[in-house]
Amino acid sequence: MGPFRGFDWAKGNGNSVALEGLTARLGDRVVRNVVVLYGREVANRFLPFVALPYLARVLGPDAYGSVLMSQSLGVWLAILVEYGFSLSATRDIAASEGDTKSEADIIRAVLGARTLLFAIAVIMAIPAWLAVSEFRTTPSLVTWALLYAAGQGFDPFWYYQGKEFPGLAVTIQMSFRALATVGQFLAVRGPEDAVLVPALNALAVCASTLLSHVWMYRSAPFLKPTYHLARLALRKGRPIFIFRGAVALYTSINPVLLGAFVPSSSVAMFAGAEKIARGMLGLVNPMAQAVYPRLAALAVRDMDHARALHRLSFALTLGVGLALGVFVAAGAPRIIVLLFGVEYVNAIPVLRILSGLIPAVAISNALGIQWMLPLRLDREFTAIIASAGLLNLLLAPLLAVKFGPGGMAAAAVVAEAYVALAMGVVLFARRLW
């Protein structure tokens, strides 16, 4: 293993940890981190909703559809750069138990790997530029998507989450996202200003990531990345990357896929409705994110406590997901008109279809991220997600060509439902839940 002993990424310092009762665990850091992570969801999902009604009306469906495609491309490329380290490296930081040398090895390995991945992302942006007419007309939409991918992909939030003190990183993110939102109100006046929306978002994310790195290196020493460690990081994180990349095949890439078949105004109907449905997941995801590092640690020390904590978390996650799904389906007409305006009424049936995403994702997050990954069922987890991505790629073109935005929405829901069902089958078959 040599100097890179952390690519076991640190088995820890060997100190025994006194296990407290489950109630005490829920009463301290986990609960506090749930609250903090809801703040992160505010920054990532709900702050954009503040400007959404204004942008949708000022830009109109055509220009706003182009903006949404640019944002989707940026998110998709960010997933490539991020490579799933938000899960794999978080798990390893949590397991390192404060071993500073191991943490420094993890950090420089991830940084080196992401540098290589961003170079690949630049190359990957070229086919999207060639395939989508809006990107060929306005190449700066692709440029800002790449800059957003850099900022989001290099975000070291995984470090703060693994250490279970994400509060500082969340504060930084919220501050810069808020500035970007204010800037959109001030700078965007009409369709000709559409490119300013992805530009401001990209600059905010990059500034947030840079400052988060500065604070991270106040706690951990900076070690120069090396190609050797970067390559090891890529190899170790490959199963989770396949998962994240496959997820992108039935989530963030869908607006770009749709843009190859229909006008940008139709993309706006799908992507706008999807933004609402997936935005609602911001009320579900923090539980999975906060409980994940604790379950990752408990799964190797105290299986009984891990199982009890997961069952409680599953019940809470599922309850919130079902309630939000019903709310979105019932309130779709008012939600669309309120947020987007009457020009977007064709998005109402699309949103009703996409409301099924919310409980499906809640279940898959609870079974997959909260349980299969802490149990190190990476291979099974990845196989399920990869097959769901292929399912979406098969269904999306067929349904989108025939049914437009509604067809794309149906393909996304079918893929998410398949993931939730398959994870349940695997866990029950192995008597792990």
DSSP states of 47-111 as a string? HHHHHHHHHHHHHHHHHHHHHHHHHHHHHHHHHHHHTTHHHHHHHHHHHHTT-HHHHHHHHHHHH
In this structure, which amino acid lies at residue 80? L
**Is position 72 within any domain?**
yes
pLDDT given for residue 12 in this prediction: 37
pLDDT given for residue 23 in this prediction: 43
- Consecutive sets of 10 residues in the chain, 433 residues long: mean pLDDT of each? 38 38 50 63 70 92 92 90 80 74 85 92 90 88 95 88 74 87 94 95 94 86 84 79 74 83 90 89 71 77 84 88 95 95 95 95 89 85 87 89 92 94 93 79
**Is position 2 within any domain?**
no
pLDDT given for residue 117 in this prediction: 93
Residue 295's domain comprises: 22-429
pLDDT given for residue 4 in this prediction: 37
- The residues, ordered by sequence, that sit 6+ positions from 20 with a Cβ below 8 Å of its Cβ are none
Q: What span, in angstroms and rounded, lies between the C-alpha atoms of 318 and 305?
A: 20
**Is position 6 within any domain?**
no
**Is position 52 within any domain?**
yes
Number of domains in the chain: 1
**Is position 53 within any domain?**
yes
pLDDT given for residue 370 in this prediction: 84
Q: What span, in angstroms and rounded, lies between the C-alpha atoms of 120 and 326?
A: 41
Asked if 55 and 64 count as a contact pair (C-beta separation under 8 A), the reply is yes
**Is position 289 within any domain?**
yes
Q: What span, in angstroms and rounded, lies between the C-alpha atoms of 275 and 399?
A: 20
Q: What span, in angstroms and rounded, lies between the C-alpha atoms of 334 and 364?
A: 28
**Is position 3 within any domain?**
no
* Dihedral pair phi/psi, residue 106, rounded to 5°: -60, -45
Give the single-character DSSP code of 300. T
pTM above 0.75, yes or no: no
pLDDT given for residue 18 in this prediction: 37
Q: What span, in angstroms and rounded, lies between the C-alpha atoms of 381 and 423?
A: 7
Compute, in degrees rounded to 10, the torsion defined by CA atoms 211, 214, 215, 218: -170
**Is position 311 within any domain?**
yes
Largest separation between any pair of C-alpha atoms in the chain: 63
